[in-house]
């Protein structure tokens, strides 16, 4: 009985994983993007300059013109150039830019919202209510000239105020390693907001910070625990960049023989190569890479050419080389 149950679970797991494989997948050949199907047949020639893949490798947007559903293979007109994805009032919306506006799109509900402004990027800063253990999102819209607008997390992303800020003009407030609010300087006052995006304090500016990079002077920083009613609080970084490691382990591909293809991946000393089992003199040096900072997908790049293909085992059947063989022959 245990064996039967184990086999059922294994069969169900394999079946579930197979359902996650994508019907079509983008590839890049000499700096142009095209599309192949799961059997490595070329569906669209490399004609696009740029691709954005998003929503768990569900969609691919090309040049702000065409949008493909990678699961079904369906094509439609793109709402614009894809920026990122975020939750608006608990619903997932994808953010696109047209020439004039930023557009929020929910494909499942077939709903879209055209904003009055165009943002270069939109991100969420989670604000924590430590007493009630709740989280509220501050929406930050990045504009030109490295300026920002602070927005409410509602369907129209209503501005908290009409002011544009530089990163040095906003300070997030941290307690217990969580952001609990933010502050900015408004003319002659420091204005403090809590996690509910409500003003809780306004203090007149009497002294300036002695540190060029800090918004709040030390005497104001000392008052933060009182302002936010916590034991300890301090200023945090509003816009800090993190280091992104875009390498991953290619050794999982070694020793595998792809079905219906002569091409495979091997390692010689510390370098990786794509080889052809029917031509011992054929080999191309490759390396691992990650596509997309927001949610990375595994891909392989070909060193001798600005070419690459996706090989993320969550979405494509590995060790298949989903790159048209006719282009591989031209690269050698």
Confidence check: pLDDT of 19 > 60? no
In angstroms, the CA 64 to CA 51 distance is 9
Question: Is the N-terminal amide bond of 319 cis, ω within 30° of 0?
Answer: yes
232 and 138 share one domain? yes
Range of the domain at 305: 1-38+244-332
Q: Is residue 101 part of a domain?
A: no
pLDDT digits (tens, 9 = 90+) for 293-329: 667 899 999 988 999 999 888 998 877 789 999 999 8
211 plus 132 within the same structural domain = yes
Short-list 74, 81, 111, 84, CA closest to 97:
81
Do 126 and 231 fall within a single domain? yes
- Does 304 reside within a domain? yes
Q: Are residues 221 and 126 in the same domain?
A: yes
- 125 and 183 part of one domain: yes
User: How many domains, the chain?
Assistant: 2
Q: Which of 236, 267, 301 is the last residue of a domain?
A: 236
Is the pLDDT at 24 greater than 70? The verdict is yes
With pLDDT > 90 as the criterion, what percentage of the chain qualifies?
62
Asked if residue 86 is part of any domain, the answer here is no
| Res 192 pLDDT > 70 | yes
Mean pLDDT score, 144-152: 92
Residue 269: its pLDDT value, please?
Answer: 87
CA dist 208 and 222 (Å) reads: 14
Domain end position, chosen among 205, 236, 267: 236
CA distance 115 to 124: 17
Residues 179 and 263 occupy one common structural domain: no
Final residue belonging to a domain, choices 236, 258, 293: 236
Instruction: Determine, yes or no, domain membership for 52.
Output: no
pTM: 0.83
* 159 and 215 inside one domain: yes
Report d(CA 140, CA 121) in Å as an integer: 8
Quick one: 229 and 254 in the same domain? no
Residue 163 domain flag: yes
Residues 128 and 186 in one domain: yes
């Amino acid at each position: 009985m245990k064996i039967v149950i184990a086999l059922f679970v294994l069969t169900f797991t394999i079946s579930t994983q197979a359902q996650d494989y994508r019907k079509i997948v983008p590839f890049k050949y000499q700096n142009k993007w095209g599309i192949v199907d799961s059997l490595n047949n070329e569906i669209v020639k490399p004609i696009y300059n740029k691709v954005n893949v998003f929503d768990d490798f569900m969609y691919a947007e090309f040049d702000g013109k065409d949008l493909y559903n990678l699961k079904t293979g369906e094509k439609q007109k793109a709402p614009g150039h894809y920026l990122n994805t975020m939750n608006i009032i608990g619903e997932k919306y994808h953010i696109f830019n047209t020439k004039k506006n930023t557009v929020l799109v929910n494909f499942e509900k077939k709903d879209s919202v055209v904003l009055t402004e165009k943002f270069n990027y939109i991100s969420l800063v989670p604000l924590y209510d430590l007493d009630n253990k709740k989280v509220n999102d501050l929406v930050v819209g990045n504009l030109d000239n490295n300026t920002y607008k602070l927005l409410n997390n509602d369907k129209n992303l209503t501005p908290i105020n009409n002011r544009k800020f530089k990163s040095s003009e906003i300070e997030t407030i941290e307690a217990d390693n969580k952001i609990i609010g933010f502050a900015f300087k408004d003319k002659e006052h420091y204005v403090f907001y809590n996690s509910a995006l409500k003003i809780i304090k306004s203090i007149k500016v009497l002294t300036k910070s002695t540190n060029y990079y800090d918004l709040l002077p030390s005497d104001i920083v000392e008052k933060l625990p009182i302002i936010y009613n916590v034991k300890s609080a301090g200023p945090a970084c509003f816009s800090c960049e993190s280091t992104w490691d875009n390498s991953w382990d290619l050794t999982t591909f070694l020793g595998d023989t792809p079905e219906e293809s002569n091409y495979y991946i091997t390692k010689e000393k510390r370098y990786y190569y794509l080889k052809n089992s029917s031509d011992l003199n054929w080999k191309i040096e490759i390396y691992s890479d990650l596509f997309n900072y927001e949610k990375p997908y595994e891909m392989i790049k070909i060193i001798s050419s600005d070419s690459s293909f996706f090989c993320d085992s969550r979405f494509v059947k590995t060790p298949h080389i989903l790159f048209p063989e006719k282009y591989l022959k031209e690269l050698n």
